[in-house]
Amino acid sequence: MTPARWDWERETGPRRLNAELAETGICWLRAPELVREVEADPWAAAEGLLGERPLLLERQPIRAIAGGRTFSSGCMAAPFHSDSQMFLGVPPHVQVMACQSAAETGGESLYLDTWALLARVERDDPDLLDLLFARDRQFPFVFGDVSGPTLSSRGGSLVFTHTPRPAPEDLVASRLQRFFDTAPVLEVRAAAGDLIVIHNHRLLHGRRAFQDAGRSFTRLLAWRHQPWPAPARWLERAQVVGATRPSPELGLSESETVRRRGVVQELLRGVPAGVLSAREAVPEPELYRWRDAVLAQAAPGMATIRT
Q: Which amino acid is at 83?
A: D
Q: Kindly tell me the sign of the dihedral angle through the C-alpha atoms of 200, 15, 242, 297.
A: positive
E strand or H helix that includes residue 130: helix 126-134
244 assigned to some structural domain: no
Same domain, 226 and 259: no
Measured between alpha carbons, how far is 138 from 165 in angstroms, rounded to an integer?
Answer: 11
243 assigned to some structural domain: no
Can you give the pTM of this predicted structure? 0.81
Could you list the pLDDT tens digit for every one of the 307 residues in the chain?
789 999 999 999 999 999 999 999 999 999 999 999 999 999 999 999 999 999 999 999 999 998 888 999 999 999 999 999 988 889 999 999 999 999 999 999 999 999 999 999 999 999 999 999 999 999 999 888 888 999 999 989 999 999 999 999 999 999 999 999 999 999 999 999 999 999 999 999 999 999 988 999 999 999 999 999 999 999 999 987 654 333 333 345 456 666 787 888 888 888 888 888 888 888 888 888 888 887 776 655 555 445 4
Measured between alpha carbons, how far is 239 from 155 in angstroms, rounded to an integer?
Answer: 10
E strand or H helix that includes residue 90: none
245 assigned to some structural domain: no
Q: How far apart are the first and last CA of the chain?
A: 49
Q: Which amino acid is at 303?
A: A
User: Any idea what the CATH number is for the domain that residue 155 is in?
Assistant: 3.60.130.10
Angle formed at CA 284 by CA 202 and CA 224, multiple of 5 degrees: 35
E strand or H helix that includes residue 7: strand 5-7
CA 35 to chain centre: 18
Number of domains in the chain: 2
Measured between alpha carbons, how far is 127 from 113 in angstroms, rounded to an integer?
Answer: 20
Domain boundary among 213, 238, 263: 238
